[in-house]
Amino acid sequence: MITAVLKKYRLEIIFVVFVVAFAALFLYEQNVQTQAHWEGSDDQGSAAIEATGYTPWIQPLWTPPSSEVESLLFSIQSGLGAFVIGYFFGFYRGKRETAKPE
Amino acid sequence: MHIMEGYLPWQWCVFWYLVSAPFIIYGIYLLNKQVKERRETLSLLAVSGAFIFLLSSLKMPSPVVGSCSHPTGTGLSTVLFGPIITAVLSVIVLIFQALFMAHGGITTLGANVFSMGIAGPLLGYAVYRLGKAVNLNIFINVFLVTAVADLFTYVITSIELAAAFPAAHGGFMVSWMTFFAIYAVTQIPLAILEGVLIALVFKYIIQSRGDILVKLGVLTQEQVNKILGSFS
């Protein structure tokens, strides 16, 4: 019984184990690396470029006025992606259910 | 993450635009052909694009390094539709982020498309074909393709930056090590997690649209039946 469930959901179990391990490692490292800022690798990269004496020759056409507005836009991007994924997986499931012989 | 607006000298911007353009033009042709001749694959195309949208919006901490980056999400599309169509899907996401979030940039678009849309997926696709040739378990194969496409994207980003900004002492190699440590090392834990996620998603795709996977030549009907049987 239990082995059957483990077999059926083995990929889900592996995924959850990895997510938990990732989160646990992050929480551990957060306490260990007190000097870490957790900023974006692109910010670090740009800082490394500026350290060579380079100044960007063009600015973005439009920049979100605050990190709140920026995170809103990133959330909209996630939301759009998740909506399309959920829509089609729901559609596939509905199709499968109706195709099942009574 | 992507190279920011203005952070590549204009000569390099032009260079990477020229390198990427043929792939994109050919990709648009292939995409049109795919949509016209294989209408039934359209929904999976949308799902693949949506995964690039979703995953590349998630800025995640990278535990070992103490910085943040986001996955690329290009693995699924690479397995299903190949690297050239993946390049076109990536362009859409990169333009969206450059215009609305000031993330990446229009001048650096060519370089960012080459790393995320072309080089990463191309190497991922090579891994996929190799895995197929040696009859590797499809879920392990999808995991490897996704992780490689993600990680290699940022190996290329660091090469692009090292080429544009060679160190005064030591030149390209010294500079590459700097950018590699920033971009590629940050990406390792994220690439692994992304690979595991897409491998799981692949199970749902086999369960939902095994028929299309057979048509796309990803799996044979016998393989689909065998995999479905192993999960019941």
Q: In chain B, where are the structural domains located? A: 10-227
User: Quick one: CA dihedral B178, B191, B150, B5, positive or negative?
Assistant: negative
List all residues of chain B from 145 to 204 with a beta carbon under 8 Å from chain A: 154, 157, 161, 165, 167-168, 178-179, 182-183, 186-187, 189, 192-193, 196-197, 199-200, 203-204
Band (A101; pLDDT cuts 50, 70, 90): confident
Q: Which residues lie closer than 8 Å to B82 by C-beta, 6 or more apart?
A: B30, B121, B125
User: Does pLDDT of A37 surpass 90?
Assistant: no
pLDDT at B191: 97
Q: How crowded is residue B34: how many other Cβ atoms within 10 Å of its Cβ?
A: 17
**pLDDT, averaged across chain A:** 92
| B163 contacts in chain A (CB < 8 Å) | none
Best CA proximity match to B81, nearest among B170, B213, B178, B211: B213
Nearest-angstrom CA–CA distance, A68 and A76 = 12
List all residues of chain B from 85 to 144 with a beta carbon under 8 Å from chain A: 96-103, 105-107, 139
Nearest-angstrom CA–CA distance, A84 and B228 = 24
User: Quick one: CA dihedral A3, B193, B147, B56, positive or negative?
Assistant: positive
Element (H, E) at B67: strand B67-69
pLDDT at B73: 96
Nearest-angstrom CA–CA distance, B219 and B213 = 6
pLDDT at A102: 64
Instruction: Identify whether the C-beta of residue B63 lies closer than 8 Å to the C-beta of residue B120.
Output: no
Q: Any idea of the CA torsion for B57, B61, B62, B68, to the nearest 10 degrees?
A: 60
| B179 contacts in chain A (CB < 8 Å) | 45, 48
Mean pLDDT over residues A54-64, rounded? 92
Instruction: Identify whether the C-beta of residue B30 lies closer than 8 Å to the C-beta of residue B85.
Output: yes
Q: What is the pLDDT of residues B64-93, one digit of tens each?
A: 888 999 999 999 999 999 999 999 999 999
Best CA proximity match to B77, nearest among B33, B128, B37: B128
pLDDT at B157: 97
Q: What proportion of chain B, given as a percentage, has pLDDT over 70?
A: 100
Instruction: For chain B, list residues with pLDDT below 50.
Output: none
pLDDT at B166: 95
B180: Cα separation from own chain's centroid: 18
SS3 B63: coil
Instruction: Identify whether the C-beta of residue B51 lies closer than 8 Å to the C-beta of residue A81.
Output: yes
Which two tokens mark B2? 């992507």
Q: What is the pLDDT of residues B18-39, one digit of tens each?
A: 999 999 999 999 999 999 999 9
Q: pTM score, two decimals?
A: 0.96
pLDDT at A33: 86
As its CATH architecture, domain B10-227 has Orthogonal Bundle (1.10)
Nearest-angstrom CA–CA distance, A10 and A16 = 10
